[in-house]
Amino acid sequence: MKDISRRKVLKEIGLISLGMTMLNKGALSGNKGESFSIKDINRTNNSDIDFDRPVTAIVLGAGERGNVYAGYAVKNPNELNIVGVAEPIPYRINKFSKQHQIPKEKQFVTWEHVFEQEKFADAVIISTPDKLHYGAAMKALEMGYDLLLEKPIAQSWKECNDILQQQKKFNNIVAVCHVLRYAPYFLKMKEVIDSGKIGEVINVQHLEPVSFDHIAHSYVRGPWKNEKESTPMLLAKSCHDIDIIKWILNKKCERVSSFGSLKWFKPQNAPKGCTKRCTDGCAVEAACPYSAIKIYARDKGWHLRYLDVKERSFEHIVEKLKTSPYGLCVYHAGNDVVDHQVVNMQFEEDITVGFTMAFAGYAGRRTRVMGSMGDIVGDMTNLHVFNYNTKKRETWNTDDIDIDDGAFADHGHGGGDIRLARDFVRAVKLQDPKQLTSTIDASMESHLIGYMAEKSRKEGGKMYTINMKA
């Protein structure tokens, strides 16, 4: 009887095959983690809570991420209501305000204006560019707002610490948008490790392949191309990776070292005949995989959203590229962040970890966890768990998981975005930070690892110890 009900629960959450073997996991030694549950893996709202009124929030930065989180209000208006917005780009603020019916007096050009008014919402969603997180977070916390704070927390370790201290002083709920912690795939990976199924973790290999068009769009031409304007690549992109490794292991990182550089996207690699802009009559445009005309005007992929084009015709997009930073040649874009990097980490209990970020023809994080009794191989869709004793391999995949739809469709981080929004709303509603796995406290160590690894890279791979008290 007991087994049947467990089976029913596992079936409901789509984990039947792996769950069945976990019932027989035997006496393998475990990697006991923090208290953790995947019971809610397939629930993408808070239908179990009675909302007498929705949680109210103000969005700072109505760009990509601001629209993603505000999308939760569109899907669940009884739970979340967006009541204010700050955004300097007229096209974006108008579109956003219309969608969320925000009155004129609650539409602001810049985040500072929001805080000139008395507190008028429960929470603030900070989805401004990286360099504007700090000021907005400090002020929002002081005024008593709860915070959904995009990663990276801030541009330096000191600023991250200031925000943490501010949170402690005013006792607000702060969720850092480490969305992978909420993705069913990584929840499952953590569950397998915590169960002891692969014994003790010996080593982790984690790869973040950034697709070649994505690196060109975001880290060569786009908002994260300069360290001073945003953060180093390791924080801007791969703080998710460092964080998820730290989270699945639930161990302290002791030492770190890193190598990496900007190897390809620089003037000396420009082919003969290329021009400063792809639209300037570049002689090699047709053969260039990074051509802005190809990426935005011909292929019209997800990147096009960043261009704010009113119509999607080839001619209109090419016209826009003539003045937009997204029309710059990738070899002449003035970028300075790395295009490949490796980080070596030594965790407590002698666990070694190697992380690589590089560009490739595919995307989707690849992770291998090598344990004493088994191993895990995953690609964000399939999770294979191999048992050294039985020599059997079980596979779990994301097919049964309700990933996303609506505003979450193209940028859902495997279902992590919507589940983070769900848990943030829940935490604010219940005034309970325990509803979150990525509180600011829990997110600090991975930021420190990132900052120290970047320091190491700049110093030729020097090894640094990770000391949270320093």
Interface ranges with ligand NAD (CB under 6 A): 60-66, 86-89, 92, 110-111, 127-130, 132, 150-151, 177, 179, 223, 236, 413
Residue 108 Cβ vs ligand NAD, minimum distance, rounded to whole Å = 8
Nearest to 400 by CA among 43, 14, 19, 20: 14
DSSP readout, 204-270?
Answer: EEEEEEEEHHHIIIIIIISTTS-TTTS--HHHHTTHHHHHHHHHHHTS-EEEEEEEEE--SSSGGGP
Calculate the alpha carbon distances from 99 to 64, 71, 93, 311 in Å.
14, 10, 10, 19
CB of 311 to ligand NAD, least distance (A): 20
Smallest gap, in angstroms, from Cβ of residue 208 to ligand NAD? 12
Q: How far apart are CB 9 and ligand NAD at their closest, in Å?
A: 30
User: How many angstroms separate the CA atoms of 182 and 418, rounded?
Assistant: 8
Task: Give the Å distances, CA to CA, from 436 to 244, 416, 440.
Answer: 15, 12, 10
Beta carbon of residue 103, minimum distance to ligand NAD (angstroms, whole number): 18
- Report, in Å, the least distance between residue 224 CB and ligand NAD: 7
Looking at the Cβ atoms of 177 and 234, the one nearer to ligand NAD is 177
Q: Which is nearer to ligand NAD, 116 or 315 (CB)?
A: 116
Using CA atoms, how far apart are residues 470 and 465, in angstroms rounded to an integer?
Answer: 10
Q: In angstroms, what is the minimal distance from the CB of 5 to ligand NAD?
A: 37
Question: C-alpha distances in angstroms, 249 versus 109, 375, 434?
Answer: 42, 14, 19
Angle subtended by helix axes 64-75 and 90-100, to nearest 10: 10
Token pair, residue 89, equals: 């780009």
The nearest distance, CB 176 to ligand NAD, in angstroms, is 9
Rounded to a whole number of angstroms, the minimum distance from the CB of residue 393 to ligand NAD is 31
Nearer to ligand NAD (CB atom), residue 11 or residue 312: 312
Distance between alpha carbon 366 and the CA centroid of its chain, in Å? 15
| Three-state DSSP class for residue 465 | strand
Closer residue to ligand NAD (CB): 15 or 307 = 307
What interhelical angle do 157-170 and 440-458 show, nearest 10? 170
Question: In this complex, which beta carbon is closest to ligand NAD, that of residue 64 or of residue 319?
Answer: 64
Q: What are phi and psi of 106, to 5 degrees?
A: -110, 15
Q: How far apart are CA 324 and CA 261, in angstroms?
A: 26
C-alpha distances in Å from residue 303, one per residue of 213, 224, 299, 300: 9, 14, 10, 7
Distance (Å) of CA 156 to CA 22, 60, 179, 227? 42, 20, 21, 11
Looking up tokens 């990132």, which residue turns up?
Answer: 450
For ligand NAD, give the closer residue by CB, 22 or 380: 380
Q: How far is the CB of 96 from ligand NAD (least distance, A)?
A: 9
**Which residue number, 267 or 406, has a Cβ lying nearer to ligand NAD?**
406
State in angstroms the smallest separation of the CB of 365 from ligand NAD: 12
Cα separation, 86 vs 111, whole angstroms: 5
Residue among 177 and 345 whose Cβ is closer to ligand NAD:
177
Judged by beta carbon, residue 19 or residue 63, the one nearer ligand NAD is: 63
112 versus 400: smaller Cβ distance to ligand NAD? 112
78 or 110, CB closer to ligand NAD? 110
- Distance (Å) of CA 344 to CA 130, 235, 462: 25, 15, 11
Residue 300, token pair as written in the block = 């019209």
Burial classification of residue 319, based on how many CB atoms lie within 10 Å of its CB (0-12 exposed, 13-18 middle, 19 or more buried)? middle
Residue closer to ligand NAD, measured from CB, 55 or 60? 60
| Contact between 275 and 391 (Cβ < 8 Å) | no
d(C-alpha 417, C-alpha 127), whole Å = 13
**For ligand NAD, which residue has the nearest CB?**
63
Provide, rounded to whole angstroms, the least separation between the CB of residue 467 and ligand NAD.
26
